[in-house]
Amino acid sequence: MARRGDGRWWLMRIFFVVAVVVLLSVPASADMVTTYDVTYYLRGDISQPTLFYGLGSYEFLLGPGYIPVYLKRDDFDFIGMYGAPALGYPQAMLPASMPVIAFPAGTDGAIAVPITVVADRAPVVGVPEPSSLLLIGVGLVGLLALGRVMKRRAGRA
């Protein structure tokens, strides 16, 4: 059994620190993609069920020649116009994965709800960057040198 004064104690301590650093430095990687599920509706139609939408949802309202866009934060906040500036308001900045909003006949509102899914591609393996491996190597050499210095000091005392 390694004891505090023994040189093996420092070696075990260094091994533990290096193991923790290596385990925590390997990044996990998942290929997540956010898509949007768009639901079209007719405003004011009370025969439709009332639905509640989560944070990050976008609402589009068809107007005469323009489409205002609202983003669900605490409430639905106006963020601009869809497609191009209109009525003195800027164009809304939408995510690249937002599908094209095209109102079917008989609808004048749309809600785009974000859905995060795992991509259908081959699995991606995350590995440490070369700079991380270099940092781990330098740290290991430093810990070994520290262990030797502490062993020499323990021998002198």
In a domain, 41, yes or no: yes
Domain that holds residue 94: 32-118
Domain count along the chain: 2
**Higher pLDDT, residue 1 or 9:** 9
The pTM is what?
0.55
Per residue in 89-125, pLDDT (tens digit) is 999 999 988 999 999 999 999 999 998 877 665 555 5
Show the CA angle centred on residue 26, arms to residues 23 and 32, nearest 5°.
Answer: 130
Contact yes or no for 42/48 (Cβ under 8 A): yes
The mean pLDDT value for 15-40 works out to 71
The mean pLDDT value for 28-48 works out to 78
Q: Are residues 19 and 77 in the same domain?
A: no
Centre a 10 Å sphere on the Cβ of residue 82 and count the other Cβ atoms it contains. Answer: 22
**Higher pLDDT, residue 137 or 127:** 137
- Which residue spans within 10-103 are E strands per DSSP? 32-41, 58-61, 68-72, 76-81
Q: Are residues 90 and 47 in the same domain?
A: yes
pLDDT at 7: 61
The mean pLDDT value for 120-138 works out to 65
Q: Are residues 23 and 42 in the same domain?
A: no
Q: Are residues 45 and 112 in the same domain?
A: yes
In a domain, 64, yes or no: yes
Q: Are residues 39 and 109 in the same domain?
A: yes
